[in-house]
Amino acid sequence: MPSHLTRVVFRRLLSNKPITYRGCLHRSTRPCIPADNGLQAFPQSHRRSLFGFSFSPPREPRAPDFTPGQKPLMKLAKMDQIAARPPSPKEIADAFRQFFDAKLNSKQPVEDVHVTLALRALEYLKDQQEADMPPWLSAESLRRALWALQRRPDRPANAMLQLAKELHERIKAARDAEDGAEQEFDEDFAYVTILSQNNRTIEARDMLLKHTLPGGQPAQIRNWEKVLQGFQRDGNELQFLKTLSIIKNQSIPFTDILHNRTVQFYSARNDLTKTKKWYSEPVAEGRLILPSAHSAMLMCCAANNDLSFGQKIVAYLLEVPPKKEIWDVIFLWSMATGKGVDEVGRMMQVMKRRNESEKIHEGPDIETINRLVEYTMLRNDPYTAERCIHLGEKWGIFPNAKTFIMQMEYRLSVNDIDGSRAAFFGLQGQEAIDNEEIPAINKLIQAMCRAGRYDFDAIMGVVDDLGDRKAQFEPETICELCLLHLKREEFDDAKDLLQTHSYHYSSQQRIQVRDVFINFCLDRKNSLASVWDTYQIFRSIFQETPREVRTPLMKEFFARERADMACHVFFHMKNSTDPAVIPNADTYVAMFTGIARVADEESLELVHNQMKLDVEIEPNTRILTSLMAAYAATNRPVRAMEFWRDITQSKEGPSYASIVVAFRACEIMPFGDRHAKPLWSSLRRMDVEVDQEVFAAYVGALAGNGLYDEAEKTVLSAEETFGFTPNLLILGSFYNATRNDFVQERIEAFIKDNYPDIWPRLEALGSFITDEGFGYKQFKLNRDVNL
């Protein structure tokens, strides 16, 4: 006998209809999306291709791009959080070495997220260290980790200082244990650099002073220059001068590097007198003042309109045939004193004739043009910058990578995106050094995304070029690209971007990217399906997001009347192992309040049962009030009043919100006046101050139980008894408490006769009045209880 199931299957195949089975034990956890007509919800259907199979393989999600060694370190932190068995010490030691070797080789900064993982790994290896075995990490591995920390991140971090101190102390202990071995102090100087980069410059100076020999070695002099740079970054002139005094007392020669740093410090502060003083200080024998020091002095003179001193410097520089770098400084001085591009071009002719007479085969080159362009960018003068580039082309000097990069930047500064794109295309044939083009390309991508007038393929052309360079995308770029993909409903592409770049960011940068997804979900203009898919990406990538950020998402799904999705958000928090993510009392209050507003009984049972099992939650008045509101909204007022009894018997006692909810429950409860009247009498007897919200709830309780005459008398006595005139909230509560047409006509006439100015406003809200009478879902204007 033929199977009925077979006939059904073939009929659906021939008619190209989906084959569904409602009794599947392993259903998808993805919520159904409402149909366009709003009448029915469908799961996403599957279509069979020709002959029942597809010619293209399914898309494989991109695996997270971790730095080598990062994943085991993250696993250690995870196991420590849930008190589970951690990885073996050997695995963690190997991961530690791999991670910092990768950072050192790639010249990428170590972010605060990675520093926290490394600190936990060091602590774990220390706990697992036995007395009779060699250390898990050699001194060389510790040194390489310390050297990797020298690349300064965007902002100082206390965790980085803690890690650097721990590494330095362990290296020092290992070095002291090597009897008779030649001592190496490179790690000490690396530690000095890290301290000076993280606002601990005084400590760096004190440490460097311990290792400085009279006279100073070249490596030590470079470290003193870093200390000076640290004080310059901090703007601490007092300590800057004190450091110069220490250098002099230690008989360390005042080299051209130290001289240059000092002149630049005071030139940046626009202090002409002190800049002149330090510029006039002689440098060590056999050294000449660096061109950058000449440039800083001349720029300070130009800024302070001291042209005479600047002309003396220029005259001194021209006494002997100057080198090409000195000519570049003179050209900058000319432009700073007001000379135009044409005059600078004539000066270049003078330079050329003089060099030819002196048989010097040097002339202006692309570095000369780049310095002029860089100066005009500091003055925010893109027009002059363009003329400088055209001047170079007249001399047969064509732009290099740096020129195109600066051209992209100053054109973007005036929102000339097309011009910046043209410079980007010119950059394609150039070879940049140390990835200096990456920031400019990132800014171009961001500008194109924000402009909204460039097609998707044009943007992706620039993005693909940046990806081909194996570059790290800036967080702002990821924000713009993810938003672009989300608007186009390309959720897989957005997730791939995050998988590739988000794990290399600092905690603040991850928050910056995360907020793009949060704001997209909270934007009511976006469809429910898009919001849900966006949330799924968010929760899989940003698992560290605390409950305070997730709760607005939960409330947003309640606002969209999707309690099932809000429950998913709640249980995702509940299933987390992070104490900062697990729901607390405020989360439960928000959940029950949201359930009350959508009146979803199934969600209420799920969450309430979960709260009963949560040993960390102790029901208080706020939680019990929200539970009372939720049960009242789901037409279970008797159960709601059980929570009211719990509130009255608790040490904390009732609040105004709980009193209001109790009256609202009495409004829909059979014979609810038997509970409402004693409660009202207790309030009056104890001389509790009655506000308009409590008064409105009591009037609604009377009207909801058919006591219309008594409700009318109560409304009329409001001004005399409590000192306030019935407003829209009170009269709306009175009118909306019944669905009886005859009684509503009577109440309507009462309001028109006694409060004619309120009725037009009340009538304008007819959509909620004529729905289903009382309900937290219907009367949303003022009847939502603020818990």
Ordered domains of the chain (ranges, CATH)? 596-779 (1.25.40)
What span, in angstroms and rounded, lies between the C-alpha atoms of 389 and 404? 10
- The DSSP 8-state label assigned to residue 718 in this structure reads H
Residue 86 predicted with pLDDT over 50: yes
The residue-averaged pLDDT of 31-38 equals 46
What span, in angstroms and rounded, lies between the C-alpha atoms of 96 and 72? 9
568: left (phi over 0), alpha (psi -120 to 50) or beta: alpha
Type and span of the H or E element at 283: none
Q: Extract the tokens encoding 752.
A: 């028109």
Percent pLDDT > 70 in the chain is 86
Residue 777 predicted with pLDDT over 50: no
Give pLDDT, residue 38: 43
> Could you tell me which residues come within 8 angstroms of residue 168 by beta carbon, excluding any fewer than 6 positions away?
146, 187, 188, 191
- The DSSP 8-state label assigned to residue 504 in this structure reads G
Give pLDDT, residue 204: 87
The residue-averaged pLDDT of 108-130 equals 89
- At residue 770 the predicted structure's pLDDT band, cuts being 50, 70 and 90, is very low
User: If you write DSSP's letter for every residue of 31-97 in order, what string do you get?
Assistant: PPEE-TTSS-EEPPP----GGGS-SSPPPPPPPP-PPTTHHHHHHHHHHHHTT-PPPPHHHHHHHHH
Q: Would you call 627 helix, strand, or coil by DSSP?
A: helix
Residue 247 predicted with pLDDT over 70: yes
Give pLDDT, residue 19: 61
Give pLDDT, residue 121: 93
Q: Extract the tokens encoding 678.
A: 């004693």
* 763 closest CA partner among 782, 776, 744, 777: 744
- At residue 33 the predicted structure's pLDDT band, cuts being 50, 70 and 90, is very low
Residue 218 predicted with pLDDT over 70: no
What span, in angstroms and rounded, lies between the C-alpha atoms of 65 and 502? 8
Question: Which pLDDT tens digit goes with each residue over 684-739?
Answer: 999 888 999 999 999 999 998 889 999 999 999 988 888 888 888 888 888 888 76
Give pLDDT, residue 629: 92
How many Cβ atoms sit within 10 Å of the Cβ of residue 151? Answer: 16
Residue 48 predicted with pLDDT over 80: no
- The DSSP 8-state label assigned to residue 664 in this structure reads H
Q: Would you call 704 helix, strand, or coil by DSSP?
A: helix
Question: Which pLDDT tens digit goes with each residue over 5-24?
Answer: 555 565 566 656 666 544 45
* 335 closest CA partner among 379, 366, 291, 398: 379
Least confident stretch, 38-42, 183-187, 506-510: 38-42
- The DSSP 8-state label assigned to residue 608 in this structure reads H
> What is the C-alpha R_g of the chain?
37
Give pLDDT, residue 773: 31
Identify the residue with better confidence: 587 or 350: 587
Q: Extract the tokens encoding 270.
A: 């626009």
Question: Which pLDDT tens digit goes with each residue over 505-523?
Answer: 988 999 999 999 999 999 9
Type and span of the H or E element at 223: helix 218-234
Give pLDDT, residue 766: 56
* 565 closest CA partner among 61, 34, 35, 36: 34
Cβ(404)–Cβ(436) below 8 Å: no
What span, in angstroms and rounded, lies between the C-alpha atoms of 520 and 515? 8
Least confident stretch, 311-320, 438-447, 580-589: 311-320
The residue-averaged pLDDT of 196-210 equals 85
The residue-averaged pLDDT of 186-205 equals 84
* 264 closest CA partner among 238, 230, 299: 299
Which residue stretches of 379-488 are H helix?
382-394, 401-413, 417-427, 438-451, 456-468, 475-487
- At residue 169 the predicted structure's pLDDT band, cuts being 50, 70 and 90, is confident
Give pLDDT, residue 14: 60
Give pLDDT, residue 521: 96
| Maximum CA extent, the chain | 114
Least confident stretch, 40-49, 153-162, 163-172, 379-388: 40-49
Give pLDDT, residue 283: 87
- At residue 153 the predicted structure's pLDDT band, cuts being 50, 70 and 90, is low
Question: Which pLDDT tens digit goes with each residue over 265-319?
Answer: 999 999 999 999 999 998 887 778 899 999 999 999 999 999 999 999 999 988 8
What's the mean pLDDT when you consider all of the chain? Answer: 85
Give pLDDT, residue 784: 46
Type and span of the H or E element at 378: helix 366-378
The residue-averaged pLDDT of 372-397 equals 93
Least confident stretch, 156-170, 376-390, 490-504, 767-781: 767-781
